[in-house]
Amino acid sequence: MRRVLIPATLAPIGPGHAARGSIETLSGRVMGTTWSVRFVAPPGLDAQVLRSLIQIEFGRLMAQLSHWEPDSALCRFNRVPAGTRQVLPDDLFAVLLQACDVAACSEGAFDPTLGALIDLWGFGPPGPIPTLPEPAAVAAARASGGWERLALDPETRSACQPGGLQLDLSAIAKGYSVDRISDLLAGQGIASHLVEIGGELRGRGVKPDRSSWWVALEAPPEALGSVDEIVVALHDLSAATSGDYHRFLDRGDRRYGHSLDPRTGFPIENGLFSVTVLHASCMLADAAATALMVLGPEPALAAATRHGLAARLVVRQGGALAEQLSPVAARMLS
């Protein structure tokens, strides 16, 4: 069965608001994953020039946000001496500001300073690990983090490196990059487009036939047949999904997902298979999906309700998978 979600508030979609032109597609690879842009090309647009502009923007973003590039602003911050305060470039500071806000709202279920833990569990640049980390090593890596220790200062756009803090923005950087590419397209006069990076999406405007950009919400492969397919109209809306079925560590008869709980230092085991969040900001949707994933089914649904988030949770109940919708998402059902 297929169900439909439609944003509660839609901008006018009349003859004067429909984009004119053909729908074109550009795609490539970035951040270890794929990206694609579908857009209504205005007359005279050179798609290859647009591709170059997109790649330049990706390069600029990765030079600030990547934890895989040793010379990025993020990696340089990770290496500065203890006890120093560093002025950060605009994009890095903006992402950290949002990340710390989500961390505070989720009572620590989200944390942008988990680099040491992520590396320890084999999900960072050093690569996979041969054996599981010892509890003492997990405790030490967890103690080296803590988003509060960044002590962000909006006036100077700076952050503190108290020593040992290792930034990792993999749970928010894709969403932010989606937003920035969407803004780039809008700045080029491309008002109608769908941007996707590694499954995180943002749609703006409408197509020439005045229809929205429709996408199917991602769900775990195990959910096929037991959870309804949901399609959503991304009309000035973003969708981001967090789940442990893409990246994991198999050791013996156990599987450890890549979602780590900052409060324990260990991979989550709370019955949540995936969380999708819909929001105007893909950056916020990306981070919020991760935070809800870590919280677990009941606290996640309570948090989504409290903060007015449109969220879809896929939960294991007994031996089956079931779906839960937050009140805002439920009101979007057509």
The 10s digit of each residue's pLDDT in 306-326 is 999 999 999 987 778 889 999
pLDDT of 25 above 90: yes
182 & 290 share domain = yes
Look at residue 1 in the predicted model and tell me its pLDDT.
65
Global pTM reads: 0.93
Q: What is the mean pLDDT of residues 156-173?
A: 97
Q: pLDDT tens-digit profile of 74-126?
A: 999 999 999 999 999 999 999 999 999 999 999 999 999 999 999 999 888 98
Domain range for 104 = 79-161
pLDDT of 255 above 90: no
Please, which residues bridge with residue 315 across strands? 272, 322
133 & 187 share domain = no
The answer to whether residues 169 and 67 touch, using CB atoms and an 8 Å cutoff, is yes
Q: pLDDT tens-digit profile of 26-44?
A: 999 999 899 999 999 998 8
CATH number of 227's domain: 3.10.520.10
182 & 295 share domain = yes
Q: For residue 167, tell me if it sits in a domain.
A: no
Alpha-carbon distance of 325 to 313, in angstroms, equals: 6
In degrees, rounded to 5, the angle at the alpha carbon of residue 284 between the alpha carbons of residues 119 and 184 is: 100
Please, which residues bridge with residue 322 across strands? 315
pLDDT top residue among 186 and 128: 186
84 & 110 share domain = yes
Task: List the alpha helices (DSSP H) in the chain.
Answer: 47-65, 73-79, 90-105, 115-120, 135-143, 173-187, 282-295, 297-306, 327-331
The count of other CB atoms within 10 Å of the CB of residue 114 is: 29
Domain count, the chain: 2
Q: For residue 71, tell me if it sits in a domain.
A: no
Give the SS3 label for residue 195: strand
Residues with Cβ within 8 Å of 104's Cβ and at least 6 positions away in sequence, in order, are none
pLDDT of 130 above 60: yes
Residues with Cβ within 8 Å of 123's Cβ and at least 6 positions away in sequence, in order, are 247, 249, 258
59 & 181 share domain = yes
120 & 155 share domain = yes
Token pair 């969407």: residue: 182
Alpha-carbon distance of 166 to 71, in angstroms, equals: 14
Q: For residue 119, tell me if it sits in a domain.
A: yes
275 & 303 share domain = yes
Alpha-carbon distance of 329 to 269, in angstroms, equals: 25
End position of a domain, from candidates 161, 195, 215: 161
Q: pLDDT tens-digit profile of 207-253?
A: 998 899 999 987 766 666 667 889 999 999 999 999 876 666 666 66
CATH number of 119's domain: 1.10.3980.10
Look at residue 21 in the predicted model and tell me its pLDDT.
75
